[in-house]
Amino acid sequence: MGNQEQLFRDIGIVDFVLTDLTLYLDTHPMDRNAMEYFNHYNRIKHQMEKEFSMKYFPLNTSLAESSKEWRWGMAPLPWEGECG
């Protein structure tokens, strides 16, 4: 796996951890242990997304600031897959 694929995969993993923790915290809003996990992985996710967007392509429009060409429009679409 290349650097781009690895970082993309890691973002998927960390964001999935946040998705699962979010639903847990929705029904367990006083669980401080889960909140600490959430805060930790949320910081990591933001760092990784920023790094990925600078090096490769923006994953969302808040990371899509562009000068020469509209980077958001050039980004690959998720349903294309690697085998496209």
Partner 1 sequence: MQDHSHENNIDKFPVAMAYVPWQRFDNMYDDLEKAYCTGTIFPELNKPFTGRRCV
Partner 2 sequence: MWSYEKRLEFPVNIKEPNAKLAQVIISQYGGPDGEMGASMRYLSQRYSMPYREVAGLLTDIGTEELAHLEMVAAIVHQLTRNLSMEEIEKSGFAPYYVDHTVGVWPQSAGGFPFSAAQFQVTGDPITDLTEDLAAEQKARTTYDNILRLIKEPDVCEPIKFLRMREVVHFQRFGEALRITQDRLDAKNFYAFNPAFDRCESCD
Interface residue list for partner 1 (CB under 8 A) = 12-14, 16-17, 20-21, 24, 28, 31, 33-34, 37
User: Longest C-alpha distance within the chain, in Å?
Assistant: 47
List CB contacts of 41: < 8 A, sequence separation 6 or more. Answer: 14, 17, 18, 21
> Site map for partner 2, 13-52, x if CB under 8 A?
--xx--xx-xxx-xxxx-----------------------
The first and second tokens of residue 4, run together, are 């781009």
31 interface partner picked from partner 2, partner 1, none, CB below 5 to 8 A per type: partner 1
